[in-house]
Structure 1
């Protein structure tokens, strides 16, 4: 049952998260909201809803290891797995607009998050700082986009197909999404906690591996399909944006709701792996280089080694 709970919870999270985004985008469009605003808010926050619900649920149920593991593990998986595997299929060119600026923001946010975690506990004021930074980032991105229009947000919206058109369908998408996310999060947290107890591993290890991989599967599937179409370049921007939101929005909101004690293993190992993964993107972003097949193999190999190490520490 614990495996069914975990797998079923992940499926519900991903399905309901998708419905929520589609319904919210359709509702915003129906009220004439500018596509830029939709991209900066509805899509950005909506696609992070599954991870947010898992982190909040875990923190409220006294499982901070799962909560932080979901954030840290997702960021590691995004770089090493979501960028690595598609690059093996077809090399990924890092020449997107604003990639240098956004990469710098991602690395800076990662450094700040690591520094806050080293205090031993993420408290309300830490969360407020992180959340204010994500709001500042969105406002700054919006101002820049208005002055020099960027196609990033338009392309994000173009990828969202199957939008409901009728009012009843929009409401159904929103209601199912909002009702399903807490249910999925409860199943994931309960299943993961039981698995950790049954096999004598830490809850943090489950959050860093199984849960983070599960919540990263949509991004991986999207980038793998794009790689087969020789269009995997979009993966870099998506990974950078996702990592920023994981740290600033999910980490910030969760810490504002409940204090998050940081496990000792995180401070010794996992936080530094997350920082190293973020730094791996820097040379490719600043040199506008290509993530070759060899680099993809190295990225993926690093991730497999990391997964092995998590259960050995």
Structure 2
């Protein structure tokens, strides 16, 4: 039987499997030795059965991992003492990154995800003060109680929502963003970025079909304007295409696709060429009041 993505939680297995594959790459841009243990056969079967057009998704998981690693290291250098990972999935950063012993790292996810993770990582030692919380982010009262506790006990917090907001409605993202912004000690928020053009690409490439049980819901027409309205402005934005070039790991498009893209870029204006490289990435937000 083919393993499929039947719910949003399955995307955590998919991402872990891609991180495990990258770890075995001869020129790996990060090493995640626990990813294979977490992904298991289920994660491997998911990525093996995705359509061929989904290769960009695997590449983007690798690039986003490195982008977020860099954001976190930079934030710690600026005094962040707590990382709150909402929808943590099967992330292993507390185990694999070089982190201060004093750093407080809090992982939040559904109970079944936390239980699986604790079972498979039993005996492993994190490099910082790791806590796990079983919580459905859609439970607003429970979420606000958690944020109050974290904000009270922290000096400077970075909130990570890796591959979380795309699966939420605009209303849900706005609610979350307003809750985060209401706590003064929450300084930074790391969020997925997708341009309007990328929404259409997902539909045309067949990626939306393969993810129909875990569809992207968050597709604001004015991405930065949306976040500014709920109190957040970009501190730094990193785009997959540009980071891929910097890391000497460009997107693995087929040869014919690369040739067509070069022709289109040659004929395009400078602004259009910039837009072509900024279709997706991650944003490090800070309070608009900063």
Q: TM-score, normalised by structure 1?
A: 0.27
Question: Which one has the bigger strand percentage?
Answer: 2
Question: Which one has the bigger helix percentage?
Answer: 1
